[in-house]
Amino acid sequence: MAITLERARVVAPTARRYRWRRVIGQALTWIALLAALVFFLGPFYWIVTTSLKGNEDYFAFPPVWMPVEPSLTHYVGLFTRSSGARYFTNSMVISTLSMIAALVVSLPTAYAIARWRFGGGFLSVFLLVLRMLPAIALIIPVYLMYKLLGLTNSYLGLVIVYTVVYIPFAVWLLVGFLRDFPVEIEEAALIDGCSRLRALIAVVVPIIAPGLAVVALFSFIATWNEFLFAVVLTGIETKTMMVLVTSFTSGGTDMFYGEASASVVLGVLPAFAVAFMLQRYLVKGLALGGTKG
């Protein structure tokens, strides 16, 4: 007893010193992280506030960092004058259709690879190489083919390209989810006389639904963000949000701010939503270009 007490007395001052060092260390850590947050989120703050300013506010100096009377004029202008509603709908429709198509087509392929080792190692390497393929390599032949087939300026054309370009990534991610899925449950269904396809749809799909949702969300955001195919293959009726925002750049370095910023706000909304929903999978998804079309 006496020994412990004595030791405690010796340790106490050093412990206090360590506690102080830890508090200061934590404080510095948080200050640095706060600075990083300002740098990484600052532009978003500027865009959002700009989109809510009236005209006199964004020509003002000193600049209005915090609009006193926020107004939705620019959003109204974007939706009426610049056909923002149509382009927003285009993006929504194209991304949703591509997302569904990519899932439907990729799941059976991923199943074949995960359960039967279909294609051996070759198929996986092939898919990875396809995943890294630059879009610029496809755009020239696809554009010429689409012109021949009359698929430019159509939803269908863009949806086909987006679906197929996304297959490698979707398959790659789904194989991972399927490998984690216990084979025994499936076996039980097969013994009960289920066909493979029914076992996949009725037994596997409900259980790996969260994994499917992850793939779906990544695919949605990737098609939403895609630009090269969109700018080449769309026409006036089928433009996506990405093509719309670039049309505001024609005004030179100080372009038409109000509607431009409003369109950027709408264009980054899905990214914000997905970043929070997919936190756990961000590394996996971003690593193989999950957010790039």
Show contacts with another protein in window 120-139 (CB under 8 A): 123, 125, 128-130, 132-139
In whole angstroms, what is the distance from residue 284 CA to residue 291 CA? 11
Which ranges constitute the DSSP H helices of the chain?
2-52, 55-58, 73-80, 84-116, 120-132, 135-149, 155-179, 183-191, 196-198, 205-207, 209-225, 228-233, 241-246, 257-277, 282-287
Using the rule CB under 8 A, give the single segment among 9-17, 68-76, 160-168, 201-209 that binds another protein: 160-168
Degrees, nearest 5: CA angle 167-245-73: 130
264 forms part of the interface with another protein (CB under 8 A): yes
Using the rule CB under 8 A, give the single segment among 6-14, 70-78, 204-212, 225-233 that binds another protein: 225-233
248 forms part of the interface with another protein (CB under 8 A): yes
Show contacts with another protein in window 271-290 (CB under 8 A): 271-272, 274-276, 279, 282-283, 286-289
* Among positions 11, 20, 25, 27, the unique one binding another protein when judged by CB under 8 A: 25
Residue among 196, 219, 184 nearest 118 (CA)? 196
Show contacts with another protein in window 70-89 (CB under 8 A): none
In whole angstroms, what is the distance from residue 290 CA to residue 28 CA? 34
Give every CB contact of residue 276 below 8 A, 6+ residues apart in sequence: none
Burial class of 64 by CB neighbour count within 10 A (0 to 12, 13 to 18, 19+): middle
* Among positions 7, 8, 11, 29, the unique one binding another protein when judged by CB under 8 A: 29
Give whichever of 1 and 279 is closer to another protein, judged by the CB atom: 279
10 forms part of the interface with another protein (CB under 8 A): no
Question: Is 144 within 8 Å of 229 (Cβ atoms)?
Answer: no
186 forms part of the interface with another protein (CB under 8 A): yes
The minimum distance between CB 83 and another protein, in angstroms, equals: 18
Binding mask 91-120 for another protein (x = CB under 8 A): --------------xx-xx-xxx-xx-xx-
Question: Is 172 within 8 Å of 288 (Cβ atoms)?
Answer: yes
Show contacts with another protein in window 33-52 (CB under 8 A): 33, 36-37, 39-44, 46-47, 50
